[in-house]
Amino acid sequence: MSAEITANETMERTPAQRGRVWVRLWLYVIVALVFGMVMLGGATRLTDSGLSITEWQPIHGVIPPLSQSDWDEEFAKYKLSPEYERVNKGMSLDEFKGIFWWEWAHRFLGRFVGFVFFVPLVFFWLTGRIERWLKPRLVLLFAVGGFQGAIGWWMVTSGLVDRVDVSQYRLAVHLTFASGILSYALWLAQRLGAQGDERLPVEPIPGRRRALVLVGLAFVQIFLGGLVAGLHAGLTYNTWPLMDGDLVPSGLMMMDPAWVNFFENITTVQFQHRCDAYLLLALALWHWWATRKSDVAPRLLKSGAAHAVGAVLAQAVLGIATLLLVVPFGFALAHQALAVIVLMVLVVHAARFYAVRDARIS
């Protein structure tokens, strides 16, 4: 009887188990698209294109201007914005098109990511290719993705009334949410692929808390990077390791109330971005050394810790070069790309500590 039950359970799970490979590949596609979204968003910011479209039209906005009258209408709307009046007054229609296409492409890719997520989700769901434990997590991922679109518009509106650029608070939140969506999709993909991996130990081993802290510090660093970008803080103090001739610059707490300095004081924002980078690198080195010396850590986790150190170190070097060169476009975009790659490396490494536990849950 028990043999029959086992056989029946295996047959019942077959569609979901077979679908696991395809669901995992689909999630990797989502990760790649969100990565592209973050890069395109960075390019939009660096080209000062984010305020070129002054309306949020989730459906109609898919179609760009197709005629001269369409372009004239879109340009007329932009001319009402503070950015045009104070920064770009007198720009030509061709110059407007240059910034418009960056923002349109960014929004279009966001809609495309939603489409690529929703349609396969429905197909996999209806055909029984999604395991029960995964369903609510995918619904959550889709909901957060939709909320990210609203956050994007919330960010844009901050630059359409009194400012000539978007709020650094909202920019940092938008970037961090995008990184969170990417990380969660990657975590789920790793969980699908690691179930039953014999290279990982059954019992928890030391180091997984450190791995999670590394992920947390990477998120903090990305948020701080958003503040730096929003305040254009990378265009000042273009020396390293000193800032204005000091390791700890003056003027860190010159604004009142004190908490504002951590978000609006250019000196403080750049200083804390540097400090978190040092902390992230130090913890990555410690984690690598402790994992390397562990008698119970498998080779997979030891190599993952080494990859984490390499990624963080490469990002630190690139960040210093970007600062010293006064944030050229290519270096700035590469710095943002590598920040997300570092986060991905750390997420994959942390997920491997939980692979066996997740396999038991499901």
In this prediction, residue 360 has a pLDDT band, given cuts at 50, 70 and 90, of very low
Per-residue pLDDT of 266-275, as tens digits, reads: 999 999 999 9
* DSSP labels, 3-37: HHHHHHHHHHHHHHHHHHHHHHHHHHHHHHHHHHH
Q: What is the pLDDT of residues 186-229, one digit of tens each?
A: 999 998 876 544 455 555 678 889 999 999 999 999 999 999 99
Global pTM value: 0.90
In 3-state terms, what secondary structure has residue 243?
strand
What pLDDT shows up at residue 15? Answer: 65
The domain spans of the chain are 1-194, 198-362
Spatial contact of 15 and 126, defined as CB atoms under 8 Å apart = no
Residue 282: CB atoms within 10 A of its CB come to 12
Interval 67-96: pLDDT, tens: 999 999 999 999 999 999 999 999 999 999
CA distances from 86 to 50, 78, 80, 98, 164 (A): 16, 12, 11, 18, 7
Asked whether residue 7 carries a pLDDT value surpassing 90, the answer given is no
pLDDT of residue 18: 73
Residue 229 structure tokens: 């970008």
Q: Of the ranges 41-45, 95-99, 116-120, 294-298, which one carries the lowest mean pLDDT score?
A: 294-298
State pLDDT tens for residues 273-322. Answer: 999 999 999 999 999 999 999 888 888 899 999 999 999 999 999 999 99
Q: Which of 290, 333, 288 is nearest to 313 (CA)?
A: 288
Q: How far apart are CA 33 and CA 29, in angstroms?
A: 6
> What does residue 243 show for φ and ψ, rounded to 5 degrees?
-120, 115
Flag whether pLDDT at 340 surpasses 90. yes
Could you give phi then psi for residue 42, rounded to 5 degrees?
A: -65, -40
**Tokens 């951590």, residue?**
262
243 - beta bridge partners? 246
